[in-house]
Amino acid sequence: MSSTPRVVIIGAGIVGANLADELTARGWDRVTVVDQGPLPLTGGSTSHAPGLVFQTNGSKTMTELASYTVEKFTGIDVDGAWCFNQVGGLEVATTPERLADLHRKQGWATSWGVDAQVVDAEECVRLHPLVDRDRVLGGLHIPSDGLAKASRAVVALARRAEARGARFQGSTRVTGIEQAGGRVTGVRTPDGVIPADLVVSCAGFWGVEVGAMVGMDVPLLPLAHQFVWTGQVPDLVGRNTELTEASLPILRHQDQDLYYRERVDRLGIGSYAHRPMPVDLRELPQGDGVRESSMPSMLPFTEEDFAAQWEESQLLLPSLRASKIDSGFNGVFSFTPDGGPLIGESRDVAGFWIAEAVWVTHSAGVGRAVAQLLVDGRSEIDLHGCDVHRFEDVQLAPEYVSETSQQNFVEIYDVLHPLQPRLSPRDLRVSPFHTRQRELGAVFLEGGGWERPHWYEANAHLVDELPAEWVPPERDAWAGQFWSPIAAAEAWKTRTAVALYDMTPLKRLEVSGPGALALLQRLTTGEMDKSVGAVTYALALDEAGGVRSDLTVARLGEQLFQVGANGPLDHDLLLREAPDDGSVQVRDVTGGTCCIGLWGPRARDLVQRVSADDFTNGGLKYFRAKRARIGGVPVTAMRLSYVGELGWEIYTSADNGQRLWDVLWRAGQDLGVIAAGRAAFNSLRLEKGYRAWGHDMTTEHDPYEAGLGFAVRKQKQGYVGQEALAGRSDDTVSRRLSCLTIDDGRSVVLGHEPVYVDGRPAGYVTSAAFGHTVGRPIAYAWLPASATVGTTVEIEYFGTRIPATVAAEPLVDPEMTRIRG
């Protein structure tokens, strides 16, 4: 009798089938897949998915999930019939902006290890002869893309999983999740309870309903998306057999929100050009009502929404003029606030997992990742962008999910700048300094629902005062978006006078109680048992030694710690890992508090004018915290600086925030105090070599590779990840997060660009900025360890190679004289 856990998977679509396959491949043979619909065509999104697999994405994770789908589906079949037809992918450009963007995409493909070429119009037509030569300026060709036959892959995967012991059961609707003592024990169905140790909901766009069975928020929105089949296209006759189906590359015409695939002598056309059409699940057929002709995921075709797209299609593909629309439907699938899938375990009901809002494209990758999470406790691909717990509370509101997911639908094929903020909803969360920031002409970007000043128009006059060596070079049109030379002035003032930075959005977690110290000792690489007032920079690792986060931990009392964190996933980690005996409380105190980063060589002069407390070097040393009063306001001051300057993070409760700002502002006028924004901030932190988790490093990297070995305390025992680090050091790494400076002194890149060493792709850029203090652009990049200081490399930016050099880091203040002064 097997002793592996009993798993019930809800949903026999492409995600559930992949998961069953991956679990059974790992020897878990007590797997039951239940679906409310008939098998194998359940009526979910998979039943009629046209299966285009375009792998390339700005996200490394998403690209790798897709590449695994390609690899896996290429190796399966049903009685000799293909599950993946590698016809290649072609994205065409009809505007110069799109053509430029295809170069950027080609860069992503190179960064993430997918072969891709930008080709000219002639080559587009050679690859896809239906394309009108005169309509296109060029294209991006990815030979390994292709068509997945999702409904057939479900059969292949189900057969394989069944052969290893899994059971698939159709026409069985899950109506509830059984639980006891905070754990799942089974799923309820009309035929009785199916016992389970683990339940994984792969319910696709029904995810919200199933999540609600355990009180779990599942931030997805079912939306309809139009798809049509044409009648016979004369120019396609004789090209394919019924078995091969297609030989032309899958095609995207993103300037018109359209995509195309071949099916024997017809074309399938998908459109994202129409208005978003949210779907009410209660109106869909259910249970016995599901059959091939009546599927919940297939709503009636609304012809009027497609009329313009049919015209556009005939312009791009003139052969279609000899054809017509044969059939169409409005198909339903899931959208999310940020476009990513939703993976993770309920926080309240242990053993209840979800894997939803997953495309066919990423389905095998997600199936493998979830199987690894369940079996090994960890996925080899970093999943922070897919984690269902990545959202802030306010982002889980149904109104927020609905609006942002619809926006995502609208923008799905748009050329989006990495800094481009959403336009709505905005002003969700504002810091207590918001009124003052507006008065100073703050230009806000949004992050985690927070309004965050990027720079302040009030500082525009400082641009004219910039000393020659601080005047930033002109930027190209792309890198110049969401940027202003004012950022240079703000950086200059921070390094030469003093600046106020709004650090309120930085996630703050209060960890308290008799068990608080032990919890933090176990979860971090640092020594936490220090005197009250100590602040420690440390890492949270996973069992394999991968970096889950970097944290600052301030001991504010014997049993009271304030953790400076990177986001909701850190909160989630602490909540999950806290013992359930009530000995530790974990509280997100971000919203009720606020923080000013007061930094610059004049910071001490400023604060001493408005505080009787001792802010001298002896009175508050580097990486120490203490309670104080500033202008009467009770604060906690922490002596550290992400921008690498003398000064403090000054915390107080939200009600006191505006007064704190005003006090510092007034007292600093003759010292040249300014308010400074994120644009300067990011530049200054890169000059100082400070990493940003999620950008520069993730769970895929260990501390030594990330250049954070110093944050791992040598003598420390008994923390998560310690065993995995045994034998590793700065000297054993094969790759390294490296600091590059750009040789021409002016070409700014933005991140995710490929880096070439000896003419071959060898890594990718993680973060980049113009370094105003050093007068040249900086890029951090993952590179082979052999690329030591002085190595010349090239960064590919929109198809051109920019020479850069590996530099010793940090570029600014390596002796720490500024910050410790």
Which residues of this protein are in contact with ligand FAD, per CB under 6 A?
A: 10-16, 34-37, 42-46, 49-52, 150, 173-174, 202-204, 206, 210, 225, 227, 270, 297, 331-333, 356, 358-361
Out of 550, 570, 572, 588, pick the active-site residue.
550
Identified binder of ligand THG from the candidate list 203, 565, 594, 675, rule CB under 6 A: 565
Q: Which stretch binds ligand THG (CB under 6 A): 6-14, 37-45, 514-522, 560-568?
A: 560-568
- For residues 94 and 254, is the Cβ–Cβ distance under 8 A? no
Nearer to ligand THG, 141 or 691 (CB): 691
Nearer to ligand FAD, 174 or 630 (CB): 174
Q: Which H or E element spans position 561?
A: strand 560-565
Beta carbon of residue 130, minimum distance to ligand THG (angstroms, whole number): 51
Nearer to ligand FAD, 19 or 554 (CB): 19
Identified binder of ligand THG from the candidate list 101, 451, 550, 796, rule CB under 6 A: 550
The reply on whether position 505 binds ligand THG by CB under 6 A is no
Q: Which does 537 bind (CB under 5 to 8 A by kind): ligand THG, ligand FAD, none?
A: ligand THG
Q: Which does 187 bind (CB under 5 to 8 A by kind): ligand FAD, ligand THG, none?
A: none
Nearer to ligand FAD, 22 or 356 (CB): 356
The yes-or-no answer on residue 280 being catalytic is no
Closest to 385 (Cα-Cα) out of 357, 420, 425: 357
Q: Rounded to whole angstroms, how far apart are CA atoms 53 and 463?
A: 48
Closest to 598 (Cα-Cα) out of 651, 655, 537, 656: 651
Q: Rounded to whole angstroms, how far apart are CA atoms 817 and 495?
A: 13
Q: Rounded to whole angstroms, how far apart are CA atoms 671 and 675?
A: 13
- For residues 780 and 768, is the Cβ–Cβ distance under 8 A? yes
Beta carbon of residue 221, minimum distance to ligand FAD (angstroms, whole number): 13
Nearer to ligand THG, 490 or 550 (CB): 550
Nearer to ligand THG, 325 or 692 (CB): 692
Neighbour tally for 79: CB within 10 Å = 8
Beta carbon of residue 692, minimum distance to ligand THG (angstroms, whole number): 7
Nearer to ligand FAD, 206 or 651 (CB): 206
**239, two tokens:** 């090209």
The secondary structure of the chain in percent helix, strand, coil, rounded to multiples of 5, reads 30, 30, 40
Q: Rounded to whole angstroms, how far apart are CA atoms 386 and 377?
A: 16
Q: Which does 640 bind (CB under 5 to 8 A by kind): ligand FAD, ligand THG, none?
A: ligand THG
**Hey, what amino acid is at 766?**
T
- For residues 563 and 574, is the Cβ–Cβ distance under 8 A? yes
Q: Which does 49 bind (CB under 5 to 8 A by kind): ligand THG, ligand FAD, none?
A: ligand FAD
Q: Which does 642 bind (CB under 5 to 8 A by kind): ligand THG, ligand FAD, none?
A: ligand THG
Q: Compute how many residues bind ligand THG; rule: CB under 6 A.
A: 13
Q: Rounded to whole angstroms, how far apart are CA atoms 52 and 263?
A: 12
Out of 68, 259, 456, 704, pick the active-site residue.
259
Q: Which residue has the tokens 């994205």?
A: 91
Encode burial over 571-604: b for 16+ CB neighbours within 10 A, e otherwise. Answer: bbbbeeebeeeeebebebebbebbbbbbbbbbbb
Q: Which does 506 bind (CB under 5 to 8 A by kind): ligand FAD, ligand THG, none?
A: ligand THG
Q: Which does 690 bind (CB under 5 to 8 A by kind): ligand FAD, ligand THG, none?
A: ligand THG
Neighbour tally for 161: CB within 10 Å = 27
Closest to 642 (Cα-Cα) out of 537, 532, 777: 537
* Local structure of residue 275 (DSSP, 8 states): P
* Local structure of residue 287 (DSSP, 8 states): G
Beta carbon of residue 427, minimum distance to ligand FAD (angstroms, whole number): 32
Q: Which does 766 bind (CB under 5 to 8 A by kind): ligand FAD, ligand THG, none?
A: none
Beta carbon of residue 67, minimum distance to ligand THG (angstroms, whole number): 31
Q: Which of residues 629-688 bind ligand THG (CB under 6 A)?
A: 640, 642, 649
Beta carbon of residue 649, minimum distance to ligand THG (angstroms, whole number): 5
Closest to 261 (Cα-Cα) out of 88, 434, 8, 24: 88
Q: Rounded to whole angstroms, how far apart are CA atoms 781 and 462?
A: 32
The yes-or-no answer on residue 259 being catalytic is yes
Beta carbon of residue 72, minimum distance to ligand FAD (angstroms, whole number): 14
Q: Which of residues 528-547 bind ligand THG (CB under 6 A)?
A: 537
Q: Which does 332 bind (CB under 5 to 8 A by kind): ligand THG, ligand FAD, none?
A: ligand FAD
Q: Which does 564 bind (CB under 5 to 8 A by kind): ligand FAD, ligand THG, none?
A: ligand THG
The reply on whether position 552 binds ligand THG by CB under 6 A is yes
Nearer to ligand FAD, 68 or 756 (CB): 68
Question: Rg for the chain (alpha carbons), in Å?
Answer: 28
Nearer to ligand FAD, 36 or 524 (CB): 36
Beta carbon of residue 592, minimum distance to ligand THG (angstroms, whole number): 16
Closest to 168 (Cα-Cα) out of 135, 205, 202: 202
Nearer to ligand FAD, 34 or 663 (CB): 34
For residue 812, CA distances in Å to 684, 772, 773 come to 9, 11, 8
Q: Which does 202 bind (CB under 5 to 8 A by kind): ligand THG, ligand FAD, none?
A: ligand FAD
Nearer to ligand THG, 401 or 625 (CB): 625
Q: Which H or E element spans position 723?
A: helix 722-725
First to last CA, the chain: 67
Identified binder of ligand THG from the candidate list 100, 148, 479, 551, rule CB under 6 A: 551
Beta carbon of residue 334, minimum distance to ligand FAD (angstroms, whole number): 6
* Cis before 129? omega within 30: no
CA angle, residues 490, 505, 666, in degrees to nearest 5: 50
Beta carbon of residue 358, minimum distance to ligand FAD (angstroms, whole number): 5
Neighbour tally for 790: CB within 10 Å = 9
- Using DSSP's 3-state secondary structure scheme, residue 50 falls into coil
The reply on whether position 506 binds ligand THG by CB under 6 A is yes
- For residues 584 and 513, is the Cβ–Cβ distance under 8 A? yes
Nearer to ligand THG, 17 or 563 (CB): 563
Provide the H-helix boundaries in 167-279.
Answer: 207-212
Q: Which stretch binds ligand THG (CB under 6 A): 4-12, 53-61, 559-567, 772-780?
A: 559-567
Q: Which does 720 bind (CB under 5 to 8 A by kind): ligand THG, ligand FAD, none?
A: none
Identified binder of ligand THG from the candidate list 5, 165, 407, 690, rule CB under 6 A: 690
Letters for 584-623 (x = contact with ligand THG by CB under 6 A, - = none) are ---------------------------------------x
- For residues 767 and 682, is the Cβ–Cβ distance under 8 A? yes
> Sheet harboring 176-180: ordered strands across?
176-180, 183-189, 192-195
**139, two tokens:** 């294209």
**Hey, what amino acid is at 648?**
W
Out of 141, 225, 274, 434, pick the active-site residue.
225
- For residues 406 and 335, is the Cβ–Cβ distance under 8 A? yes
Q: Rounded to whole angstroms, how far apart are CA atoms 709 and 722?
A: 12
The yes-or-no answer on residue 400 being catalytic is no
Q: Rounded to whole angstroms, how far apart are CA atoms 566 and 375?
A: 27
Provide the H-helix boundaries in 164-292.
Answer: 207-212
Q: Which does 360 bind (CB under 5 to 8 A by kind): ligand FAD, ligand THG, none?
A: ligand FAD
Which stretches of the chain bind ligand THG, using CB under 6 A? Answer: 506, 537, 550-552, 564-566, 623, 640, 642, 649, 690
Please list the active-site residues: 225, 259, 550
